[in-house]
Amino acid sequence: MKHNLDKLSAIFNRYPQNRESLIAVLQDIQKEYHYLPEEALQATAKTLDVPLSKVFSVATFYNAFSHYPRGEKIIRICVGTTCHIRGAHLVQEQLENRLNIKAGSTTKDLKYTLETVNCVGACSQAPVVIVNNKYYGHVKVSDAKKLLRSK
């Protein structure tokens, strides 16, 4: 996939160009493109003067980074302890069945990405599902359809 890499220089300029900025830069790239395009990793290595192998090792170590394009709608199911004992795994299964993908992947048409996350700090509303940054609390198994349709 080819990307418009013009936005990269703006991201690089936000930080001092050294090793310490690596994670922050990768986060901003991910925010911009919703994943880490390979070309962007190469540009990062060059700009921050960090070996490409190191950039890859950091990019693959942390859960927050995705190496594949993600969907338009990113659905994150909290599977923290509180959400778990309040039935998050059942909600997860419903969403997986409906989208026919496992958590951690994206539908072929790039419409939906399903992910899990370990506690977002809204445990009092457990179980919690986040659709493109909007929180839904006290989610029930029967809400799956509604979540997929939500904006």
Partner 1 sequence: MHLDNPQQLIDWHDKIIAKQKKIKKKILVCCGPGCLANGAQDIIDKFKTVLKEKKISGFTVEALKETGCHGFCEQGPLVVMEPKGLYYTKVKVKDVEDIIEQSIKNDKIIDRLLYNDPQTDKKIERYQDIKFYSHQKKVVLNNLGNINQCNIEDYIANDGYQALSKVITSMSPQKVIDTITKSGLRGRGGAGFPTGRKWATCRKVESDTHYVICNGDEGDPGAFMDRALMEGDPFSVLEGMTIAAFAVGAKQGYIYVREEYPLAVVNLQKAIEIANEKGLLGDNILGTDFSFNIKISRGAGAFVCGESSALMKSVAGEVGEPRAKYVRSVVKGLYDRPTVLNNVETFANVPIIIRKGASWYQKIGTPKNSGTKAFSLVGKVRNTGLIEVAMGTTLREIIYDIGGGIIDDRPFKAVQTGGPSGGCLPASKLDLPVDFDSLNEAGSMMGSGGMIVMDDLTCMVDVAKYFLGFLVNESCGKCVPCREGLYQLHALTVKVSEGKAEEADLEKMEKLSEMVIIGSLCGLGKSGPNPLLSTIKYFRDEYMAHIRDKRCPAGVCRALITYKITDACTGCMACIAPCPTNAITGKKNEMHVIDQELCTKCGACFAVCRYDAILVS
Contacting residues toward ligand FES, per CB under 6 A: 78, 80-83, 119-123, 126, 128
Q: Which of 12, 86, 103, 106 binds partner 1 (CB under 8 A)?
A: 86
Q: Which of 8, 11, 26, 99 binds partner 1 (CB under 8 A)?
A: 26
94 binds, among partner 1, ligand FES, none (CB under 5 to 8 A by kind): partner 1
- For residue 21, state whether it binds partner 1 (rule: CB under 8 A): yes
- From its phi and psi, is residue 34 left (phi > 0), alpha (psi between -120 and 50) or beta? left
Report 109-138 residues binding partner 1 (CB under 8 A). Answer: 117-126, 128, 135-137
The answer to whether 58 and 22 are in contact (CB under 8 A) is yes
114 binds, among partner 1, ligand FES, none (CB under 5 to 8 A by kind): none
- For residue 17, state whether it binds partner 1 (rule: CB under 8 A): no
Tell me how long the chain is.
Answer: 151
Q: Which of 93, 101, 107, 150 binds partner 1 (CB under 8 A)?
A: 93
139 CA to centre of own chain? 20
Report the relative pairing of strands 112-117 and 73-78 from DSSP bridges.
parallel
CB of 114 to ligand FES, least distance (A): 16
Q: Contacts with partner 1: how many residues (CB under 8 A)? A: 49
| Residue in the block written with tokens 């986040």 | 130
Binding residues vs partner 1 (CB under 8 A) = 18-24, 26-27, 50, 54, 57-58, 61-65, 79-87, 90, 93-94, 97-98, 117-126, 128, 135-137, 140-142
